[in-house]
Structure 1
């Protein structure tokens, strides 16, 4: 069926709006990337737009040698990987029984979980709880309070409920236990939604900032988000970096780096890992959200 003139107009307007929105998200990132690879004079004179001017990698060299970015990057990886694994284990372990109609108390626990989406204890009670558990200055203070997201749990439960009951009955006839059902039936069929939820959890851990500042006092355990935020807000920190790098060196290239370039390099170091990971999970992300959020 051929599209009508009104449909063509609708598609044109829709694509135009989506293109503008996409560019509004992409162009600032491209500009920051160009600044991080540009020379000091070009950055200071405002010549850098969306392409590096007088290409140089000195800002990244200064970032690695003058800041604890390698340590912070490793901390972010630890927080993200272990945190995401814990999140997925407990989300699956909670979502599976809540999806079974014969689970006693299923409705009560589901309502209790929904209640946490509407009401929370607040910042101070959460901090006092973490402190009383002795979790301060430990990554468990980041993992344990949010070990299960109520929204992600409901999405996974909805997906499990949509798995045909005939498969479950056939597996039970073959003598499959509850653990066997979960490991051989539910999890293999749930890869799209599991990948999507892993992406949600992973991005949340990678970008965690306020919780790290609140619970982690040891700067050696701070993640990449905290370091980059300190670089953006603290001019004194950037001056100390430049002073440290200029001590005992006659390399004029160090003087060609501006605070803007260092900040841009730090931001790109934090953004690039997620940009690399997302394309591999995008097809699972779209499919998993559609299947996991619609029942029927």
Structure 2
């Protein structure tokens, strides 16, 4: 069937809208990248828009040598890897039993999980709990505080329910237990969902800010997000006294801020392409059943 002129116009209009929305996300980041690699003089005069002016990468060296950024980057990697692994493990071990229809009290447990999406313990009670468990200034306070996202757990539960029951029944007839069924059959069939939720958890832990502010008081344990936020407010973290006048002129405020944001965003941009092919499929299949 040939598409009508009105239909073509509508599709073209939607494409234009989506392109404009995409540009609102892409162009600010391109501008920050251009600022971070341009000369300080060009940045100070406002000559940089979307293309670098006078390439200069020395600011990246100063960013890692004269700030706690390298240590904070390492902390962010530790927080993200440890938290993502623990959260995925806990989410799988929660979602799988709830997806089995023969689980006793399945509906009340699911409703209790849904209750946590509407009501929380609050900041102060949660802090008191972490303090009583002696988890302050440890990464366990970050990992245990947000171990399971109810939203992610429900998506995974729906995905497990979408696996044909005949597959599980056939495996059980052959003597396959619950653990083996999960490890050898259900999880291999759920790779799109696992990749999608791994990305969700990873981005959440990488960008974690408020929890680090609340529970991590030692600066040596803070992550890159907190360090960059402090840099956006003040330049006190930079050892300007160790630079000569010309170098200080190159290290203008806007350029430093741009470098901090770029360093914080790029790791997630590098990881995303490896998981992107599973992303849409995982979300769509996980939302078929409620």
TM-score grouping bracket, smaller chain normalisation: over 0.9
1:140: which partner in 2? 140
Runs of 4+ in 1 over 6 A off after TM superposition: none
The number of equivalent residue pairs is 290
CA 213–68 in structure 1, closer or farther in 2 if over 3 Å, else same: same
Residue 18 of structure 1 deviates from its aligned partner by 0.6
Partner of 1:237, secondary structure, is coil
Which blocks of at least 5 consecutive residues in structure 1 are unaligned?
none
Query: RMSD in angstroms over aligned alpha carbons?
Result: 1.3
- Counterpart of 1:96? 96
SS at match of 1:79: helix
**Deviation for aligned residue 1:254:** 5.2
Instruction: Report if the CA contact (8 A) 1:62-1:254 is conserved.
Output: no
State how far apart, in whole Å, the 2-side matches of 1:196 and 1:251 are: 48
Query: Aligned to 2:264, which of 261, 264, 270?
Result: 270
Which residue does the alignment assign to 1:279?
273
Please give the per-residue CA displacement for 1:123-161, whole angstroms capped at 9, x wherever unaligned: 111111111111100000000011111000000000001
What's the secondary structure of 1:3's corresponding residue? coil
Map residues 53-132 of structure 1 onto 2, 5 A cutoff. 53-132=53-132
Residue 251 of structure 2: aligned partner: 257
Please, what TM-score do these two structures have when normalized by structure 2?
0.97
**2:195 aligns to what?**
195
How far apart in 2 are the matches of 1:189 and 1:254? 56
Once the two structures are superposed, the pairs formed by residues 8-19 of structure 1 within 5 Å of their partners are: 8-19=8-19
Name the counterpart of 2:240.
Answer: 242
Aligned ranges 1:161-240 → 2 under 5 Å: 161-238=161-238
The answer (yes or no) to whether the contact 1:62–1:262 under 8 Å persists in 2 is no
Report what 2:287 is aligned to. Answer: 293
Q: Which consecutive residues of structure 2, in runs of 5 or more, have no partner in the other structure?
A: none
Structure 1 residue 253 displacement after superposition: 4.2
TM-score (norm 1): 0.95
Q: How far off is 1:259 after superposition?
A: 1.6
Q: How far did residue 255 of structure 1 move?
A: 3.7
State the partner residue of 1:151: 151
Q: Is the 8 A contact 2:41 2:249 kept in 1?
A: no
2:8 matches 1:4: no
Q: Aligned partners of 2:129, 2:247: CA distance in 1, in Å?
A: 50
Q: Distance in 2 between matches of 1:234 and 1:153?
A: 39
Q: In 1, Cα distance between the equivalents of 2:39 and 2:217? A: 36
Superposed displacement of residue 236, structure 1: 3.3
Q: Secondary structure at the match of 1:236?
A: coil
| Cα deviation 1:53-106 (Å, max 9, x = unaligned) | 000001101101111111000000000001000000000000110000111111
Pairwise CA distance, 1:237: 3.3
Query: In 1, Cα distance between the equivalents of 2:245 and 2:128?
Result: 50
1:154-201 per-position Cα deviation (integer Å, ceiling 9, x unaligned): 000000011001101110111000011101110000000000000000
CA offset at residue 6 of structure 1? 1.2
Instruction: Name the CA distance, whole Å, in 2 between partners of 1:12 and 1:217.
Output: 53
Deviation per residue, 1:225-260 (Å, 9 max, x gap): 00000000114334xx222x31xxx69445422121
